[in-house]
Amino acid sequence: MRTRTILRYLMTAGMALILAFSAAAQSPAVPSSADRVRAAEEFRRGVQAYYRGYFNEAVLVFEKALSYLPGEQRILDWLGKAYYRTGVEGAALQQWQFALNASGGDILLQNRIETVRERRTIAAVFDETVRYVEAGLINSRTENGYLFRQPVSILPLSDGTFWVSAYGSNELLHFDVNGVILERSRGPVGGFDRPFGLARLSDGRILVAEMAADRVSVLSPGGTYMSSFAGRGRDGGQLLGPQYLAVDSSENIFVTDFGNARVCVFNREGEFLFSFGTKGPLFPGFTAPTGIAIANDRVFVADSVTGAVHVFDTSGNYSRPLLPEGTVPGCESLELWNGGLIAALPSRAVYIDTASGAHFDLARLGNAPIRITGAAPDANGNLVLADYHGESLQIASRMSELVGGLFVQVERVFSDSFPSVTLEVRVEDRNRNPVVGLKPINFMITEDKRPVANMNLLGAGYRDDVCDITILIDRSAASAAYTRQIRDAIAEIANAMKGRGTLRLVSAGAVPVQEGSGSPSTGAWDAFTAKAAPSEQWAFDLGLRLAANDLVTAAKKRAVIFLSTGTTGDFAFDRYSLNDLAAYLNNNGILFSTVYLEQTEPPAEFDYLTRSTGGNSYYVYRHEGIASVVDDMVEAPNGVYVLSFDSALPTDFGRAYLPVEIEVYLMNRSGRDETGYFAPLE
């Protein structure tokens, strides 16, 4: 009996021990101290690789760190960042979702996931669903009087600032992105006489139509008066109440001559050429011409009394009505935007499709006693509206932008001179458009939620006049017939860089080849001979990845120029999909432009990469040449900012992860990013 009891006890105890071992095997192991130390070492290596631009290496190192600490939220977040910068956004979103689950609901991480998911979807059509709402107000009234009186026209600049003509106070005002007046221009010695419409020549000179003086004045880019042309009268070259201005591709100046019910045309030096718009066999004649805009050698002119918009060619020949009478009564300015026109009506801004005439309201300001005389898009995608009666400037933004805010990313941290730390920060809206013109007041940096000391804005990408360029050369079998065109294009691009920046050459053959790199002024580019042989199996995707790799840590303005025969080939996207390539370029701020070696219809794939990254397409032997491809890239908006501060955090001899946060504010929008870095080992 006693023996049976002992056996039963031993069997029960043994079964319990087996179950305990089984449960232990099925439950996650608790990381040991050694695992945590190894994970910390690998994590540090991963962060350093990321900031050096070695994103593939960072992915491998973060994966190894996760093998020691599975499910660690901070490592998962950084792994997602590394995948994002390599262009593999699907994997990035997956890792960020894991990190979000581990964090219990991080709002910043949730916003990042939502923004990237929105960007991966097909871009929404610019149609009547787009709505702009007030994001800011610049009021002229102050406790001590008025800052300006009766604003009329807006002239946006590429740096995010804009000029405004103040009809009532006879001056031009230059505003920054925060609505602060940078400078005032009051014209010649006798002052302006009712400044109205504004335009700009390619060299930066500003044109002002003075309605009461019946002339057009020319100012320097900084607003200093230079000269005037035209004068009061009804003869050729004379004006009565000039209102709005436009400039065509030949830099001819078009002025709506309200009092004479016509449009007068002058060359860039102010010499009268011709006028048009009077009654003729096909055209009934203007009643009250106001807004004017020019696109693709077509001149669009609004008639505020009849409410029609008419189309002419640049020689003044009537083409057709774009909008019939009664469509836009009281229309004032016309501005180009997104392939169409923005028309300023008394209480709303209307978007007009230049091909079909379809139109819809972009912004409505209600039934208050207002009169919108100018509506123009600024460099950050906002609408700036001049309210003549309300004596104010309204800043309108897309509803989605106000709700979602800005997308802020700390791309690099330089801590070699610790405690002095430098950040490279990219600021965009939710549609990837760079935000330019920000000032120190728009940034706040904190360390572990405490404000830092000695924060300074060291530089901004939009101000740079240097662009690093990699020329990617099509080495398909068909490229053998374009040796001269390729050589001419490389030489012209090198000369257009004017010795600034770095030029690299990559051939997209069966295996991509680095053909050379260096200063564009070396002179060696004129006699280029490709090392890579033409091949039917040429790989565009591998060539593009190689071309972009060296640009990740290049100048803030960086671009790939693809010299293309106009064919894609059978192996163009074998290794990397079109979306992954576009994401790799976009997520690292690289523009992609295409120069076609013969006049042909661009392949849809290359056209997509060009449009999605903000580049352009060119023909190698177009009559104006391709030197402007470099100018276009230098002038492209760039949202990278360089900031420095002094850190007060303890480094644990370089082993401590030092958290840093940055917030960016602009009008009623804001964005935030959190990251971290390591000080040098001691």
Query: For residue 379, which of 420, 437, 333, 426 has the smallest C-alpha distance?
Result: 437
Instruction: Say how far apart CA 165 and CA 198 lie, in whole Å.
Output: 7
Alpha-carbon distances, residue 600 vs 218, 445, 595 (angstroms): 41, 50, 11
**How large a percentage of the chain has pLDDT more than 70?**
94
pLDDT of 10 over the 60 cut? no
Residue range 104-118: average pLDDT? 90
Residue 451, preceding peptide bond in cis (omega within 30° of 0): no
Listing DSSP states for 287-346 in one string gives SSEEEEEEETTEEEEEETTTTEEEEEETTS-EEEEEE-TTSSTT---EEEETTEEEEEET
Residue range 503-522: average pLDDT? 92
Instruction: Say how far apart CA 75 and CA 270 lie, in whole Å.
Output: 64
The DSSP secondary-structure symbol of 435 reads: P
Residue 15 pLDDT: 41
Position 13, amino acid: A
Residue 20 pLDDT: 39
Token pair 């070492």 is found at 41
Cα distance from N-terminal residue to C-terminal residue, the chain? 72
Give just the sign of the alpha carbon dihedral 42, 43, 45, 50: positive
474: which 2 tokens? 């099509």
pLDDT of 291 over the 80 cut? yes
Residue 153 pLDDT: 97
Query: For residue 376, which of 204, 221, 154 has the smallest C-alpha distance?
Result: 154
The DSSP secondary-structure symbol of 554 reads: S
pLDDT of 372 over the 90 cut? yes
**How large a percentage of the chain has pLDDT more than 90?**
80
Instruction: Say how far apart CA 666 and CA 682 lie, in whole Å.
Output: 40
pLDDT in tens, 457-511: 999 999 999 999 999 999 999 999 999 999 999 999 999 999 999 999 999 999 9
Residue 129 pLDDT: 63
pLDDT of 19 over the 60 cut? no
The domain limits of the chain are 33-120, 161-354, 405-463+639-677, 468-635
Query: For residue 154, which of 136, 166, 144 has the smallest C-alpha distance?
Result: 166
Which residues, 6 or more positions from 211, have their beta carbon under 8 angstroms from its beta carbon?
167, 193, 194, 195, 196, 241, 242, 243, 258
Which CATH number is associated with domain 161-354? 2.120.10.30
121: which 2 tokens? 């979807």
Residue 27 pLDDT: 39
* Average pLDDT in the chain: 91
Residue range 605-630: average pLDDT? 92
Which residues, 6 or more positions from 417, have their beta carbon under 8 angstroms from its beta carbon?
none
Residue 675 pLDDT: 96
Token pair 């087996």 is found at 18
Residue 339 pLDDT: 85
pLDDT of 64 over the 60 cut? yes
Check for a shared fold between 161-354 and 468-635: no
Position 263, amino acid: V
Architecture of the domain spanning 33-120? Alpha Horseshoe (1.25)
Residue 23 pLDDT: 36
Q: How many CB atoms lie within 10 A of CB 464?
A: 16
Residue range 624-647: average pLDDT? 94
- The verdict on domain 405-463+639-677 having CATH code 3.30.910 is no
Instruction: Say how far apart CA 105 and CA 118 lie, in whole Å.
Output: 19
pLDDT in tens, 119-150: 887 554 556 667 888 888 999 988 888 999 99
Residue range 199-208: average pLDDT? 96
Which CATH number is associated with domain 468-635? 3.40.50.410
Instruction: Say how far apart CA 86 and CA 296 lie, in whole Å.
Output: 38
pTM of this structure: 0.90
Instruction: Say how far apart CA 673 and CA 46 lie, in whole Å.
Output: 19
**428 Rama sector, left if φ>0, alpha if ψ -120 to 50, beta otherwise:** beta
